[in-house]
């Protein structure tokens, strides 16, 4: 049964912004964005709860694969297969360690809609070209940045490349969609909306923003910015904040 809205949205509100509840998967468990300590509930139970609440989009991030310390590929496959049994279209984005055609094909075969490419934009131009040749309609280029400066390998390594330069590089490669992951300066810091707007304007590509989006007022701010098409929000927050859940349900209707 779909849950009722906890906080009805005003009539006429623009709900075209797409919200992706985001599951950060590490050691087979869901962990909060940028923090330690797994959630007690099993990942599939959390996915089922959000789908029952009306979610029609999800983002899955393999934190272990992004860090180069194992992977959660089997778990992601199970989630993708579960979503295929729901009798409706669930748009799913997979990120973290997508660095080969075999990995990309596995996720596509299991039902992923979008695959996010990040670290290999810096390290493996040839692999990027191979992926684009086979999977371009499914690919999103990730620009992970703190203070406008790009990081990669699970936010561990800083680079001398700016977010704007990275977005331009992704567009030159042939990507048609960008994900700006705003790495928070510290817990509770405000999202870098200025960089998001700059990336949207300079690249001319549809832009999804995540990383630091955690409160209803952040969603409200995103709605006012041209070119920003969606938001990644930690999936664990929707149980805690009825207004966030209301936004999700309204944009999924």
What are the chain's domains?
Answer: 18-252 (3.20.20.70)
Q: What is the pLDDT of residues 7-17, one digit of tens each?
A: 444 433 445 78
Helix (H, G, I), strand (E, B) or coil at 167: helix
Strand partners, 59: 22, 93
Q: What is the pLDDT of residues 155-194, one digit of tens each?
A: 566 667 899 999 999 999 999 999 999 987 766 678 999 9
- Residues of the chain with pLDDT > 90: what percent? 68
Name which of 37-46, 53-62, 102-111, 117-126 the model is least confident about: 37-46
The two structure tokens encoding residue 231: 């938001």
CA distance 168 to 52: 39
Strand partners, 231: 19, 209
Tokens 């080969």, residue located: 100
> Would you say the C-alpha torsion 180, 58, 15, 138 has a positive or negative sign?
positive
DSSP assignment letter at 27: T
State CA 157 to chain mean position distance. Answer: 20
Residues 6 or more apart whose Cβ sits within 8 Å of residue 120: 98, 99, 127, 128, 131
pLDDT tier at 143 (50, 70, 90 boundaries)? Answer: very high
pLDDT of residue 217: 94
Q: What is the pLDDT of residues 42-91, one digit of tens each?
A: 999 999 999 999 999 999 999 999 888 999 999 999 999 999 999 999 99
pTM: 0.90
Closest to 178 (Cα-Cα) out of 160, 195, 161: 195
State CA 164 to chain mean position distance. Answer: 19
């Amino acid at each position: 049964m779909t849950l009722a809205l906890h906080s009805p949205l005003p009539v006429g509100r623009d709900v075209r912004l797409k919200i992706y509840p985001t599951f950060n998967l590490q050691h087979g468990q869901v962990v909060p964005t940028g923090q330690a300590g797994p959630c007690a509930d099993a990942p599939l139970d959390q996915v089922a709860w959000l789908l029952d609440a009306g979610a029609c989009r999800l983002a899955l991030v393999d934190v272990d694969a992004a860090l180069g310390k194992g992977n959660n590929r089997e778990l992601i496959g199970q989630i993708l297969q579960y979503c295929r049994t729901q009798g409706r279209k669930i748009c799913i984005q997979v990120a973290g360690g997508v660095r080969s055609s075999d990995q990309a094909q596995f996720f596509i075969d299991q039902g992923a809609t979008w695959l996010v490419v990040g670290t290999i934009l810096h390290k493996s131009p040839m692999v990027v070209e191979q992926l684009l040749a086979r999977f371009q309609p499914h690919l999103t280029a990730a620009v992970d940045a703190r203070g406008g400066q790009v990081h990669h390998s699970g936010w561990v390594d800083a680079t001398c490349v700016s977010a704007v330069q990275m977005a331009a590089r992704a567009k030159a490669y042939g990507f048609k969609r960008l994900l700006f992951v705003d790495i928070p300066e510290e817990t509770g810091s405000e999202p870098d909306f200025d960089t998001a707007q700059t990336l949207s304007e300079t690249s001319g590509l549809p832009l999804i923003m995540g990383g630091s989006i955690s409160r209803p007022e952040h969603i409200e701010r995103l709605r006012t910015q041209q070119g920003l098409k969606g938001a990644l929000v930690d999936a664990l927050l929707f149980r805690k904040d009825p207004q966030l859940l209301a936004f999700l349900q309204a944009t999924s209707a």
